[in-house]
Amino acid sequence: MPHPVKYGKPVKYYGKRERLTYGKIPEIMDLPDLIEVQKSSYEEFLQRNTPLEDRKDKGLQAVFDEIFPIPDFSETSELQFVSYSLGTPKYDINECQARGFSYALPVKVCVRLVLREKDEDTGENQLIDIKENEVYMGEIPLMTENGTFIINGSERVIVSQLQRSPGATFGEDTHTSGQTLNTARIIPYRGAWIEFEYDIKDLVYVRLDRRKKMFVTVLLRALGWETDETILSCMLKQNRLRLTTP
């Protein structure tokens, strides 16, 4: 299908943007929407246009399902998650940029409070009352048609990065002296990285979340092995010798 012509030049549309083509060589194929992946991924995260009963356990829905329910210490009451709803932005994109606001949606969560009372005869918790209410949780940024976010009036973009898979990895580095230095790294699903490394004197160090290194014994003492004998008993085999008099 030929492109529309304006001022004697072919016209292409990228979203709502209109661009004139000044190239002498005609293009063989249309340029795909390169930010469609980011926009569709964020829509799946919000599930804004999905009915409540059809929402999948992912994105914002999965976050609330992971946090709730929240019981109290006596286990006589429980706060349950019912659903969440997204409103409309208070200001448009141009006004947010002009006034230094964030282009965001209000998030409201419907929660259910379940009250129970312990029966003195049976010792079981019996249901007393159930209350539901909608609570304002805050705002969440809304992606524009260009795949960007407006944060405090400034246009921001998220750069995709590769994430290391959780687990334990082992490696080795070569010192300038030619000595091989062994390393180990523990990458958790959530939390700080733990890295172990040797130096040229065969001393073992540890780094927490890529910060300043310290002796590994400091970490072991913090975990409960307070004395040198306790640490050595975990690392080395004990051979007991019984001395007898001739």
The residue out of 126, 156, 186 marking a domain boundary is 156
Q: Are residues 145 and 198 in the same domain?
A: no
Q: Rounded CA gap, 224 and 234, in Å?
A: 12
Same domain, 150 and 68: yes
Q: In what order do the strands lie in the sheet with 125-141?
A: 70-71, 77-86, 104-118, 125-141
Task: Examine the fold and report which residue of 108, 125, 156 is the final residue of a domain before the chain moves on.
Answer: 156
Helices (H), 11-169: 36-46, 60-67, 93-99
Give pLDDT tens digits for 10-29.
666 555 666 666 667 766 77
pTM for the complete prediction? Answer: 0.57
Query: What is the distance between the alpha carbons of residues 119 and 8, in angstroms, rounded to a whole number?
Result: 85
Of 86, 90, 134, residue with least CA distance to 109: 134
Contact criterion met (CB below 8 Å) for 166 and 186: no
Percentage of residues in the chain with pLDDT exceeding 70? 89
Write the pLDDT tens digit of every residue in 147-170: 899 999 999 988 877 777 889 999
Residues 110-116, mean pLDDT to the nearest whole number: 91
Q: Residue 28: inside a domain, yes or no?
A: no
In this structure, are 175 and 111 located in the same domain? Answer: no
Can you give the residue range of the structural domain that contains 79?
A: 50-156
Residues in the chain: 246
Distance (Å) of CA 194 to CA 77, 186, 210: 38, 5, 8
